[in-house]
């Protein structure tokens, strides 16, 4: 049995990861400052003898004894990461420094939950891990994009300089139960609006594309990456290569919810990427991983969750 630290463990992805790690027979130390995480996401785990909750901000050092670290702490939706952009950058950069320092001291493996946002508004489509990105370092999204890019830099420098065992995962759009209904992400926005019969707000002309990975597939990829061969550091794309326009997504959600919602169009936000789709050849080769859950099936499960909480 391993004792595993999950930073951001009360968040959308973090709480699902805690579930997975406990199912696999581990002890989990969930660390969260509850800026975007929610106690309701982990409420079902609070009485589990293999689960421990530590309320702590990753920007401050922590001294615990664990066997592995999954570093997921960071607000991940534009609404939340732009609320306090300086703190967002601190969370990515200081959080990486603190967790890498802990991993170095304990001589343990650490996984960084990075993001497809490191590719910015890509000039290459779809995006392989070798693509270096097209990011605006002074734009409103830079606190997140550049924060995550700097975290990757730190991970690889700790690996080269201190021989720290690292795994870096670039997460593409993920959705599923426990998403925050007010996080401003496209899936949660469209579902909440359609369930309430409100107009669906479409930014731009709706022709921009995204690839949507169901949360169970994402967590499976994360777990496989952490347990991959020692020589494999990543970065590795984890996402679903199925590509859909925003209009297609809205129409699917309206259809599943049987909603009367109409679509209204608003201006596209600054630096919003027009295309996003992962090349997942590396994940297939190294992790024997590819997503299994189709968008329609994942949306049905996600909509059922939102119906239960709204």
Which residues are registered as beta bridge partners of 165?
109
Cα R_g (the chain), whole angstroms: 19
Is 144 catalytic? The answer is yes
Least Cα distance to 102 among 184, 34, 5, 192 occurs for: 5
Which of 37, 28, 31, 19 lies closest to 1, judged by CA?
Answer: 28
User: Are the CB atoms for 154 and 160 separated by under 8 Å?
Assistant: no
Going through 116-150 in order, the beta strands assigned E by DSSP cover none
Give 199's DSSP letter.
P
Residue 284 CB-density burial (10 A; 0-12 exposed, 13-18 middle, 19+ buried): exposed
Closest CA to 96 of 26, 157, 139: 157
Please pick, among 81, 144, 158, 223, the residue that the annotation labels catalytic: 144
Integer Cα distance of 161 and 48 in angstroms: 39
Strand bridging mode 109-115 / 68-71: parallel
Tell me how far CA of residue 173 lies from CA of 198, 208, 220, 244, 275, in angstroms.
24, 14, 15, 12, 12
CA 194 to CA 188: how far, in whole Å? 10
Residue 198 CA to residue 139 CA, distance in Å, equals 31
* Residues annotated as part of the active site: 144
């Amino acid at each position: 049995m391993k004792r595993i630290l999950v930073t951001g463990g009360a968040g959308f992805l973090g709480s699902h990861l805690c579930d997975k790690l406990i199912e696999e027979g581990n002890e989990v130390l969930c660390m969260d400052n509850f800026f975007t995480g929610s106690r309701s996401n982990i409420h079902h785990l609070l009485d589990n003898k293999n689960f421990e909750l530590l309320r702590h901000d990753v920007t401050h050092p922590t001294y615990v004894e664990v066997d592995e670290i999954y570093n997921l702490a960071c607000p991940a939706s534009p609404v939340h990461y732009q609320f306090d952009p300086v703190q967002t950058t601190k969370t990515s950069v200081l959080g990486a420094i603190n967790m890498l320092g802990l991993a170095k001291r304990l001589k343990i493996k650490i996984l960084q939950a990075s993001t497809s946002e490191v590719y910015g508004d890509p000039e290459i489509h779809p995006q392989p891990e070798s693509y270096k990105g097209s990011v605006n370092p002074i734009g409103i999204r830079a606190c997140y994009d550049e924060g995550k890019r700097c975290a990757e830099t730190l991970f690889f420098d700790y690996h080269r300089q201190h021989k720290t065992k690292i795994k870096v995962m670039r997460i593409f759009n993920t959705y599923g139960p426990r998403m925050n209904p007010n996080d401003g992400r496209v899936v949660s926005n469209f579902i909440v609006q359609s369930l309430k019969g409100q107009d669906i707000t479409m930014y731009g002309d709706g022709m921009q594309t995204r690839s949507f990975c169901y949360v169970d597939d994402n967590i499976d990829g994360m777990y496989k990456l952490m347990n991959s061969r020692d020589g494999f550091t990543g970065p590795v794309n984890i996402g679903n290569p199925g590509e859909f326009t925003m209009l297609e997504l809205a129409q699917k959600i309206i259809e599943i919810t049987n909603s009367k919602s109409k679509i209204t169009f608003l201006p596209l936000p600054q630096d919003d990427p027009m295309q996003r789709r992962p090349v997942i050849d590396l994940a297939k080769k190294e992790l024997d991983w590819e997503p299994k859950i189709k968008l329609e099936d994942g949306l049905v499960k996600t909509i059922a969750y939102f119906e239960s909480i709204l």
